[in-house]
Amino acid sequence: MQDLWRLPAADVAGLVTSKQISAKEAALAALGRLDAVNPSINAVVDHRPQDVLAEAAAIDAAIMRGEDVGPLAGVPVTVKVNIDQEGFATTNGLKLQREVIARSNSPVIDNLRKAGAVILGRTNCPAFSYRWFTTNLVHGDTKNPRDAGITPGGSSGGAGAAVAAGIGHIAHGTDIAGSIRYPAYACGVHGLRPTVGRIAAFNAALPERSIGPQISAVSGPLARTIGDIRIALAAMSGKDVRDPWWVPAPLEGPAMPRRAALCLQPDGLETFAEVKAAVLDAGKRLERAGWVVEEIETTPPLREAADLQTKLWLGDGYEAQLAAAEREGDPGALACLRGNRAKVFPFDAAAFSKALTRRATLTREWLQFFESYPVLLMPVSGELPFPDGLDMRDDDSFERVWRAQLTQIAIPFMGLPALTVSTGLVGRVPVGVQVVSGRYREDLCLLAGEAIEAGGTPPAPIDPVG
């Protein structure tokens, strides 16, 4: 069977489970695709083919014994280089962490394997996972397979590029300010930022995270179909007591009216015409699927939430983060920290307390909003995916990038789930929409996402272009 790497994860798992193909065949196809296209995009920065084939052989042996190997039976997936995988360096794009070799797996790795997945390789991210662009001094640049002149997104840029180019059927990413949603948007695939507490995560190889990342950073899936996002979410959501924030919430919540709010310029976002058109088109797709869609002028606060999220992310321990970035010498990381210094420093105990207090108030406002509108449809970014490296051109460009990413930065402050649905292309440049819902209502995001997806998405996987 040719080109297995083209298939959705669900189809591969079905073929492996029914013994129409072996997990080894799926792994060999994935490795072949990696060898063919990764040199031109540098999405996967660490992989060991013999380990991949050994994992696949274990799946095949279990199936021969009549065991249920899980919903991702033999499916090759990639994982981001900022989570622990036993025997691999958890670099997070840093020379400083080249020798930080994990002695155990992150819960994400363990849960994917429990579901039958085969870990194909580790994907690139910017230094410290700070940027919406993906380059660093240890692994180099990742290119967008749709157009090398635009960013693949970040910080899970390697994940987005890999899955768009057919390197693996599902990609793992992490998101504290858009790092799943933006690479999906930029690479023309789908990406889900789950609710905080949905997917257990922990890196034993690194120091404990500060409180900001603990209450806002998540792991989640990127994939070429919403169906594969759904399967990946279920697989990644397994219990693991190493994450004290993990919650045993059901994947399906109570039925809600199919009612969505549509907002083109949430909290004053400067939204480009092509992005507005994509959001309006997605609204029409929902209406054709039987949803009631109401356009609203604005949403509960996003700008304040984004400001406070930036402070929790970059301001808590700012001087230590800056010192580490200076030791690393990464220009993008330094630009991120120096460019935000006036916004986030100093971040004293009073400011910290105020931020956490306001988090409760703003989250309450959002949860009340979702009682009226179970789903919100809005831009992922104010602009189409940026020219690669735009934030490094000059001060105005840096501010332009951060201004456009308002919705991505804000949503994590409330710990909410959000889904990027890729809807089309403007020339070769992808465009899409963001679907947001209440806590632990990823099911509503996915329900709306499937209706939007049915109206058309960019073709994927694709061969990389220059």
In a domain, 466, yes or no: no
In a domain, 419, yes or no: yes
219: annotated active-site residue: no
Encoded amino acid at 231, one letter = I
Range of the domain at 136: 4-453
In a domain, 464, yes or no: no
DSSP 8-state code for residue 89: B
Which residue among the candidates 22, 24, 80, 237 is catalytic per the annotation?
80
Number of domains in the chain: 1
**CA pair distance 326, 346, nearest whole angstrom:** 18
3-state SS, residue 41: helix
In a domain, 275, yes or no: yes
Q: Which residue has the tokens 């002028």?
A: 297
**CATH for 29:** 3.90.1300.10
| Spatial CA neighbour of 102 closest among 126, 121, 86 | 86
Question: What are the φ/ψ torsions at residue 379 (nearest 5 degrees)?
Answer: -65, 150
**CA pair distance 265, 272, nearest whole angstrom:** 10
In a domain, 463, yes or no: no
Which residue among the candidates 22, 106, 129, 155 is catalytic per the annotation?
155
In a domain, 460, yes or no: no
Taking only the tens of pLDDT, the chain with its 466 residues reads 679 999 999 999 999 999 999 999 999 999 999 999 999 999 999 999 999 999 999 999 999 999 999 999 999 999 999 999 999 999 999 999 999 999 999 999 999 999 999 999 999 999 999 999 999 999 999 999 999 999 999 999 999 999 999 999 999 999 999 999 999 999 999 999 999 999 999 999 999 999 999 999 999 999 999 999 999 999 999 999 999 999 999 999 999 999 999 999 999 999 999 999 999 999 999 999 999 999 999 999 999 999 999 999 999 999 999 999 999 999 999 999 999 999 999 999 999 999 999 999 999 999 999 999 999 999 999 999 999 999 999 999 999 999 999 999 999 999 999 999 999 999 999 999 999 999 999 999 999 999 999 999 999 999 999 8
Query: What are the angstrom distances between the C-alpha of 387 and each of 153, 234, 400, 422?
Result: 10, 34, 12, 18
pLDDT the model gives residue 466: 82
In a domain, 315, yes or no: yes
Is 59 within 8 Å of 103 (Cβ atoms)?
no
What is the full DSSP assignment across 246-283? Answer: -----SS------EEEE-SSGGG----HHHHHHHHHHH
DSSP 8-state code for residue 385: S
pLDDT the model gives residue 1: 60
pLDDT the model gives residue 329: 98
Which residue among the candidates 22, 106, 156, 179 is catalytic per the annotation?
179
Is 139 within 8 Å of 47 (Cβ atoms)?
no
Report yes or no on whether pTM surpasses 0.85: yes
| Spatial CA neighbour of 110 closest among 248, 231, 240, 12 | 240
Alpha helices in 271-424 (DSSP H): 273-288, 303-310, 318-328, 331-339, 341-344, 349-372, 395-404, 406-410
Alpha helices in 42-68 (DSSP H): 49-64
In a domain, 462, yes or no: no
What are 250's two structure tokens?
Answer: 């059901």
Using DSSP, how many helices (H) and how many strands (E) does the chain show?
17, 11
210: annotated active-site residue: no
| Spatial CA neighbour of 264 closest among 145, 157, 71, 407 | 407
**CA pair distance 459, 51, nearest whole angstrom:** 31
80: annotated active-site residue: yes
pLDDT the model gives residue 431: 98
Is 261 within 8 Å of 225 (Cβ atoms)?
no
